[in-house]
Structure 1
Amino acid sequence: MSLDYPYQDAFNRQLAERAMADATRAEYTATLKDFFHYLENFNPTYQREHRVNQLQTQDVEQYLAMLVDSRQIQNQTYNKVLSHLNVYFKFLFSHNWTPYLPTLDLKSKPKEAAQSVNYRWVDRLDDLLADRRLHVYTRLTLLLVAQGYPVQSFLKPGVTAQLDPSAWPASAQTFLQEFRAFILPLQQRFQCDDWFLKQRAAADPHLTLPGLHKYLRPDEAITGFALSPTVLYQGYLVNYLRRHPQETDREVVSALHLPPDSIDYYRRLSQRAD
């Protein structure tokens, strides 16, 4: 079985010795897999020889800058990723597998002040769907989030192809007519019925989250609010809770398909929302 990143087996043994929870080990794997995938595609130092012992501080900085600029990660996520990379490179250094500690001079970011959640965008959905200045992928994202789909769901291959929007509101039906005219040639080219597809030839035609952000970010100048799908989804959840204050936790969990332990968090957000 091929490894997702250098020295993966040895590093996993180290994590196991620390009695780390399976979910936490999975987070390390996801971080390091993504880090080295990025290096393979965008970092000339690593592309030349694929040698981890050649990586230096600027190589890690480049990856972290991409996370901030392209994926719009928050400071909390930034610090977690940096912590994962720091533990990994300290492990390599302790075994003399790298002469450098490329994370040594990198600092974590300050904790961000709590911000109010924008939940009002959901009430503007009809106007947003009709605004042709917004890219169709931007409007499709808004529509799907307003239907209760988080981004990790609707970007997954096979999900949107199975959706039945027949019961969605009239504004959605009008937009979907426009959207189908846009997406049909791409679906025919790639022989794929999903809704988020790349516009250039690719082995995998599905649009990635960083790819989606390339459409969303420019449109923020038009909407006047953040279009990060994660932030939009928070706003949708808060909007729902404000509209249904009498629903029990069980009813909310059922309606929103949320894990029960997250209900209190979103209720507090809805109570703080101005």
Structure 2
Amino acid sequence: MSQSYPYQDAFNRTLQQRAMAQATEDEYNATLTDFFKYLENFNPTYQRDHRVNQLQTPDVEQYLAMLVDARKIQNQTYNKVLSHLNVYFKFLFSHSWTPYLPTLDLKSKPKQAAQPLNYRWVDDLDSFLADPRLHVYTRLTLLLVAQGYPVQAFLQPNFTANLKTQSWSAPAQQFLNELQAFLAPLQQRFQSNDWFLKQRAAADPHLTLPGLHKYLKPDEAIVGFALSPTVLYQGYLVNYLRRHPQLSDREAISALHLEPDSIDYYRRLAQRAD
């Protein structure tokens, strides 16, 4: 099986020895996959020969700065990403696979006051789907998140293979027709039925998370709120729980595919939402 970042198999074995939850292990892998995809696209040090043992503090700082500037991540997310990278580089260092600890001098950020979570966007989905000012990929992201899919799921190759859309609303069906017209030449060129495809020739035609953010970011000025798929998904969860207050924890966990230890957190957010 191909690896998404250097020494992934060995690192995962180390994580498994810590007996951490699968969801936490998945978070580590998502962080590191995104980190190395970013380096591959934007970092000259890594682009030269793809050697992890050449990475130093400025290379990690460049990635973290991008997360803050381009994706507008909160300090809590910044600290979690830094922690993931720190554990990974300590693992490499302990095996002598790198002579550097590039995260050693990087400091975590102070805890921020929680930003009010936008959950109302779900209620306005139909108007967003019909808004031609928004890029097709922005509208598609909103549609899929409102159907309960996190970004880690819908950017996966072959995501659409088993997707059932027949029961979606009439405005969603209308948008899907527009989407298909947009995608037809790309799907033909890349011989792929997937939805999130690059618009230029590429060995791997699938859009990455950083690539998706390039479409989402400019559209924030139009909608007036953050379009980070992770934040949108949190808003969707809160919206769902506000609409279904009668659900038991077990029913909500099953409907939303949540980890059991996170249901209380989202219930509290739903109760505080005005």
Q: Provide the TM-score with structure 1 as the length reference.
A: 0.83
- Does the CA-based 8 Å contact 2:38-2:210 persist in structure 1? no
Q: How big is the shift at 1:138?
A: 0.6
CA distance in 2, matches of 1:51, 1:19: 26
Name the aligned partner's letter for residue 56 of structure 2.
Q
Query: Percent identity of the aligned residues?
Result: 79
- Which residue number corresponds to residue 134 of structure 1? 134
- Superimposed CA distance per residue, residues 116-165 of structure 1 (whole angstroms, 9 cap, x where no aligned partner): 22111111111111110000111111111111111111111112243222
Q: Tell me if structure 1 keeps the 8 A contact 2:40–2:46.
A: yes
Partner of residue 157, structure 2: 157
Distance 1:227 1:261 in 2: 26
Q: CA deviation at 1:199?
A: 0.8
Residue 66 of structure 2 aligns to a residue whose secondary structure is helix
Distance 1:259 1:112, change over 3 A: same
User: Counterpart in 1 of 2:124?
Assistant: 124
Instruction: Report the counterpart of residue 265 of structure 2 in structure 1.
Output: 265
Kindly indicate whether the alpha-carbon contact (under 8 Å) linking 2:93 and 2:101 is maintained by their aligned counterparts in 1: yes
Letter paired with 1:149: Y
Deviation at 1:36, TM superposition (A): 4.6
TM-score computed with the length of structure 2 as normaliser: 0.83
- The change in CA–CA distance for 1:141 and 1:89 in structure 2 (over 3 A counts) is closer
Tell me whether 117-126 or 91-100 shows the greater mean CA deviation. Answer: 91-100
Q: Which residue of 1 aligns with 2:172?
A: 172
Contact 1:5-1:33 at 8 Å conserved across structures: no
Indicate conservation of the 8 Å contact 2:34/2:209, yes or no.
Answer: no
How big is each residue's C-alpha offset from its partner over 1:87-110, in whole Å with a ceiling of 9 and x where there is no partner? 555566678776654333321111
Determine the structure 2 residue equivalent to 1:83: 83
Give the 3-state SS of the residue equivalent to 1:227 in structure 2: coil
**In structure 2, how many angstroms separate the alpha carbons of the residues matched to 1:74 and 1:48?**
31
Deviation at 1:56, TM superposition (A): 3.1
Instruction: Identify the range of structure 1 (211-220 vs 77-86) with the bigger mean alpha-carbon deviation.
Output: 77-86
Taking the aligned partners of 2:7 and 2:250, their CA distance within structure 1 comes to 45
Q: Structure 1: 5+ residue runs without aligned partners?
A: none
More displaced stretch, 181-190 vs 25-34:
25-34
Match of residue 112 from structure 1: 112
Structure 1 contact 71–209 (Cα < 8 Å) conserved:
no
Secondary structure in structure 1 of the residue aligned to 2:250: helix
Q: Hey, what's the Cα distance between the residues in 2 that align with 1:97 and 1:147?
A: 43
CA distance in 1, matches of 2:53, 2:40: 15
Find out whether 1:42 has 2:42 as its counterpart.
yes
Distance 2:161 2:141 in 1: 15
For residues 33 and 166 of structure 2, the distance between their equivalents in structure 1, rounded to whole angstroms, comes to 39
Give the greater-gyration-radius structure (CA): 1
Runs (5+) with no aligned partner, structure 2: none
Report how many residues are paired.
271
Does the 8 Å contact 2:238/2:270 carry over to 1? yes
